[in-house]
Amino acid sequence: MLHLRKKKVFIAKKIPKEVEEYISDHCDYEIWDRDEQIPMDLFYKKIADKDGVLLTKIPVDQTFFQHGKNLKVVSNISAGYDNFDVDEIRNRKIIATHTPKVLDETVADLIMGLMLATARRIPELDAYVRNNKWKPTDVESLFGVDVSHAVLGIIGMGNIGEAVAKRARMGFDMEVLYHNRNRKIKAEESLGVKYADMDDLLAKSDYVVIMTPSNESTYRMFNKEMFKKMKRTAIFINASRGEVVDENDLVEALKTGTILGAGLDVYDKEPIPKENPLLEMKNVVLLPHIGSATHKTRFDMAMCAAKDTVSALSGHLPENLIPELKI
């Protein structure tokens, strides 16, 4: 009887045991199951004889493929894939997948949390109470700003942007403006959002949420000129990628009162360096890039990547090809 060789897979990060067992049912595999990222020299050794790899953040470029010469599929356990050299992947005819949609609701929840926390100064006032600074005479010094009935501007109306718009419209009765490469007529009709050009959105919005992908066209797109066009009472929210914002310009805008505040889950350098001035600013809420960080969502992301890997190695077309590779 002919026994077909099981495909070999390397998993470059810790994943839930159930997902690991799913891969084990279909493939021979090795896994890096530590919390810290795998050293690159070891990673390159591990992928040398593998057919597939599951990873996050590791650059998938020419150097990567020089070591992983047998690879047929690369699955990113992330909705974003700015670590992928798409041209290199296409030229080598490699299957590449990501994990869209499964994290949309979770990230949208976090964005609304950032808006509320920044607007009502929740982390600052939590520390104020814990440090026994609360005095009965403190009233106006503790004031924040309203979220309900305010104007929200969303830059980048993808799936997450639409999920944020739904929460803002239905839960907080906000007016929602959006700017996107293409108009989303269905979203306008179903959610009651309005398309706006960039300048109009910045001028009218009380909250500006940026949800664009990180690529050459969006690199540092949000700079001092953009902040100057915002209301002085506006709050800026970024849960997409740090590279889309000029962080020095953001710091200056916050220091000078060009904008009121910011809620951030992503940064130019991660983890955020201890000398970063954002750490000392009271009008900023800072999170450690946890947009999709719930147990359920991370499980779903890992299983999504695992199923796409098995599908590709079984000779089928995976469901979640990165968009640039779809025919």
| Residue 295 bears catalytic tag | no
Q: Are 90 and 310 in contact (CB under 8 A)?
A: no
Q: Is 241 a catalytic residue?
A: yes
**Beta-strand runs (E) in 230-295:** 235-238, 261-264, 284-286
Range list of H helices, 34-158? 40-46, 62-67, 86-91, 104-119, 122-130
Q: Which residue has the tokens 């520390």?
A: 127
The kind and range of the H/E element at 126 are helix 122-130
The neighbouring-strand residues paired with 284 are 262
Quick one: which of 29, 106, 66, 94 has its CA closest to 294? Answer: 106
Q: Of 98, 121, 167, 241, which is the active-site residue? A: 241
Q: Does the active-site annotation cover 316? A: no
Residues 67, 92, 120, 289: which is the catalytic one?
289
Written as one string, the DSSP assignment of 166-231 is HHHHHHH--EEEEE-SS--HHHHHHH--EE--HHHHHHH-SEEEE----STTTTT-B-HHHHHTS-
Which among 225, 270, 319, 324 is annotated as catalytic?
270
Q: In sequence order, what are the beta bridge partners of 151?
A: 175
Contact between residue 193 and residue 223 where contact means Cβ atoms under 8 Å apart: no
Cis (ω within 30 of 0) for the bond into 271?
A: yes
Give 147: exposed, middle or buried? Use CB within 10 Å, 0-12, 13-18, 19+: buried
Q: Which residues are catalytic?
A: 241, 270, 289
